[in-house]
Amino acid sequence: FMRVGTMAYVGAMSKISKDVPPYMIAHGDPIQVRSFNRIGLERRGVDEAGRKAIKEAYRILYRKEGLNAAEALDKIEAEVELTAEIKHLLEFCRASEKGITR
């Protein structure tokens, strides 16, 4: 009953215990987000501005130490260009009932 976001990539044999946000690559047991799906975004025609915004959102959400998910989402909303992809990412994460994979 977990959700996997748009253009997210989940590796085989991964144990999913929380929602996987859109545009991310996750795998393992326990599952961890390893990167954002740059190649998938390029293939789907996401423009350069959209890819840069997702890259920055990934860094804030997964690479900044000391931020919980809610703080990271607020920081993304304040600091990252609000492209359609970022709006979708924020909506997905905030609507998550089980939490997102960190």
- 18-72 per-position pLDDT tens digit: 999 999 999 999 899 999 999 999 999 999 999 999 999 999 999 887 889 999 9
Q: What is the pLDDT of residue 9?
A: 94
Pairing relationship of beta strands 32-36 and 9-10 according to DSSP bridges: unpaired
Beta carbons within 8 Å of 43's beta carbon, 6+ residues apart: none
* pTM of the predicted structure, to 2 decimals: 0.90
Q: What is the pLDDT of residue 78?
A: 95
